[in-house]
Structure 1
């Protein structure tokens, strides 16, 4: 009887442990299934180092103090331009993007006697398209070659286009590729256009901008690259 009782007790303990483990696993499964998506960062109440500049750019009252209205406007700008975290803080990345957008592009740096031409300003990391003296695509942010892989300056021509190109060197997708100089091309990227240190020579673009360039440009169109990217 004692041996049987011992066996019975061991069986009951094993059964209890099994139920306990099942309960823990079940709780974890329910918890994981019910876990909400990661919430967006809270809107910061702190004034960033470029608070006044951001207020002026966004046509807000310029007082250098962060308000709920300021934070909402800055946060919206960050979200639209893919700046993370989009918390409404007027930091250096946000201000650098605003500065690029402040400039409408220097028409004197891009020739007006070439017909349709895509202009790439490495210094300001922007690009636009003009046809003669008329701008037909407003400046957009770009990400050009990093140190050691600089986007080559000079006057080039688009010589090959491949909408669904995949790099044979880096094995990454390069949608809307328009090649203009020895393997360097306009193309879209899925990541953040503002992320350092830069590309391997191509002119990286946001998907919507690259798609717009694809519609406006064609083989034989000119591309002028000038200036120097900061840090190269």
Structure 2
């Protein structure tokens, strides 16, 4: 992502992704960096409930193991088993995403008079494709631009696509890239959609979802980005 260059064209600049989610990290005890913390965090009960653990607000070795597994899966650091704000922030976002169900455009923010359009709700870190009021695909979790690299809002169009794109800035693969605003694009990544702090502006997706978007969208289709990613 970031500053991405089209192979036969000039460099494409980029101004500055419960995901990627930039929330102040509650500091865990010092020993937690290398071992499992025995201290209960400020979100202990909420985290226990989310993970299906006994909700007693007390840290146990089993609690710590479950929290560390969650942190490791989603790239939350330090993965010390501490129920801090970064861990709960991801879980809270996941809860909000789940609550959306199959009606992601309930608020009516994404235009329904454009035919096929890809919608991106930055606040909930969700995207979907609709035709008018008909939901075509999604909603799916996405990972958008971090602080100072925000995914830009507004109505846009897919200008070009490259299934095997490679970023010239970071020398990383960006499979199934569909560019809609300069160097900002839908594309797949190999990390969790809730991996903080987020992208350099692109809308990251799982490989499965990026492939589906590739099959459903084409150059010239509309993209609407709205809201504000938590922490930006």
Alpha-carbon offset, residue 225 of structure 1: 0.7
Aligned position for 2:126? 127
Structure possessing the higher radius of gyration over alpha carbons: 1
Question: Contact (CA 8 Å) 2:128, 2:139: kept in 1 or not?
Answer: yes
Find the aligned partners of 1:156 and 1:122 in 2 and give their Cα distance: 15
Whether 1:58 and 2:57 are equivalent positions in the alignment is: no
Alpha-carbon offset, residue 153 of structure 1: 0.8
Q: 1:75-94 to 2 correspondence within 5 Å?
A: 75-94=68-87
CA gap of 1:201–1:46, structure 2 versus 1, over 3 A, is same
Please list the CA deviations of residues 163-213 of structure 1 after superposition, one character each: whole Å capped at 9, or x if unmatched: 2112345544322211112221122345676344x5443223455554454
What RMSD, in angstroms, separates the aligned Cα atoms of the two structures? 3.2
* Higher percent of residues as helix: 1
Give the counterpart of 2:37 among 44, 49, 60: 44
CA gap of 1:217–1:92, structure 2 versus 1, over 3 A, is farther
Find the aligned partners of 1:113 and 1:60 in 2 and give their Cα distance: 46
Find the aligned partners of 1:66 and 1:112 in 2 and give their Cα distance: 48
Q: Secondary structure at the match of 1:70?
A: helix
Find the aligned partners of 2:66 and 2:224 in 1 and give their Cα distance: 35
Q: Secondary structure at the match of 2:48?
A: helix
Q: How many residues align?
A: 190
Question: Contact (CA 8 Å) 1:128, 1:135: kept in 2 or not?
Answer: no
CA gap of 1:97–1:215, structure 2 versus 1, over 3 A, is farther
Alpha-carbon offset, residue 95 of structure 1: 1.3
Q: 1:11-22 to 2 correspondence within 5 Å?
A: none
Alpha-carbon offset, residue 47 of structure 1: 1.7
TM norm structure 2: 0.65
Find the aligned partners of 2:216 and 2:73 in 1 and give their Cα distance: 23
Instruction: Structure 2: give runs of 5+ residues left out of the alignment.
Output: 1-32
Aligned position for 1:139? 140
Instruction: Structure 1: give runs of 5+ residues left out of the alignment.
Output: 1-39
TM norm structure 1: 0.65
Aligned position for 2:165? 165
